[in-house]
Structure 1
Amino acid sequence: MQLFLVSGLSGSGKSVALKTLEDAGFYCVDNLPAELLPILIENLQQAGYARIAVSIDVRSGGSVQQLPRHIEAIKKQGLEVHVLFLEAQAEALVKRFSETRRLHPLSDGVRTLPECVAFERELLAGISDIGHHIDTSGLGANALRAWVKEFIRLDRARLTLLFQSFGFKHGIPLDADFVFDVRCLPNPHYDPVLRPLTGRDRAVIDFLDATPAAQQMYADIRDFIARWLPGFVADNRSYLTVAIGCTGGQHRSVYFAEHLAHHFSAQQQVLVRHRELAG
């Protein structure tokens, strides 16, 4: 049996992720109390289900903090378990709840909405530590669906090296293990011809290829990752996220993410994501 657990902060897109898994052929259960997970798995195994997706979050109450213990017990039975943890910046979550006018699950008439979000993040810290993160702060539903589909297809026996471009003006990604700042490099944005393009377009690539400082920084970042990557592999890490940021997340960071992904794809399982281009 293959089990995908979806968790994360309220308003971060868990329903979209679970629906994507359902469309991919998983039998899905939403809002399962954490203490019922072992019973559910036992019953579904007996019924012959092979691909299961379960959403568990703070709606489970205090039992959600026992989820890591349940996951370890299930893994010892020989099941393949993968955890997808969705999160977002507090400002984005507050905005989503304000727009939908829904109550936060932890709302008690005393805590403010930002306080509920902060408390929820604290309660889920133990699950956050064991899951593959997706920061949905500025992510549209279609982009999230695409990223979840990528997650399903990964070879779980190998470390996945994820390169993500972003714009500092929209905040640093919450899911980054390393963050590199390339804003000191010449910015194609100030060239009227290059401004509407992205770091995947040939004209921008040629511009940065011909910039000595960009090539030196690329070599430094590449060598840093190459030097320390074996340590993360030896530590049995499943994912390592390297975020590259420029001002708007359109030109320089995209160029770096693409080039680094191309370089390491010959040796590692690699994903590349462009946050500001995803929409």
Structure 2
Amino acid sequence: MKEASSCKEQIEVTCPICREKGMFSGVSFCNGSRDRAMRKRILYDENLFFYTCPQCAETIRVDMTGLYCDDDHRFMVCLHPSEQLQTQYEALVAAKEIRKNYRCRSARTWGEWREKIVEMETSRDDRWYEVLKAGAYRLLKPELRRQYPLAMCHIDYGAEGERTEQRNLVFLDATKAGEGVSYVISERILQQTKDIFSPILQQIQTVKPFSFIDAEWADALLTEVLRAAAKQPHGYAELLGYWIQCVGAEIFHYHVRGEAEPVEKL
């Protein structure tokens, strides 16, 4: 039986304000290689998982699981918002065949779901982007980390959009909705990240077919790598120091003596 290009699920929603009940129609599966219109909605519709009450116009976020598949780039990403939806998540994954040799990831929010798709539509390992993001974030001064939280830092399309594999590193401003700073990720720093971290990444065995490979994961990885490198005064520690300098120079165009500041406004 041929697999549908996309599927929707009807969920009953009770408005927390007026208690009016209604039905929310949310995407539960999309093969972006076949359904380009739904792919576009997933990538650009920030209200994809919001329901508006017809009685009082209250806007409600609806938590649900969803599975995105890309046969062109051979990956799958599951939206898995909470442990409360574990049963639905397991049923959704079980209902869809996990393609052989596909990269499989999970995301907790629409933003993370979108970001993972943006990363994995390239020929690069999405883990390089996450490690690079975590490394660049560590160069920010403490006050800038408060202004640009790691959770609001993400990978996005470059200036030419979806037409190329160029990706940018974006820091959203927690104090100003919709504003932030953006930096081009150069081929050089991606290659350096690959060369330095690939030996470590190759040793990491994922327990589940769908793992959370995100900023939190990368930050924890960097912490462990730096701790281990600190015990070795030569060799890998020096290599990591060189990588940090390159991140400052290639991302922020800043010679790393201390810490870096965002300089390019959107």
Shorter-chain TM-score above 0.5 = no
Structure ranking higher on relative contact order (CA contacts 8 Å, 6+ apart): 1
TM-score by length of 2: 0.29
Q: Which has the higher helix share?
A: 1
TM-score by length of 1: 0.28
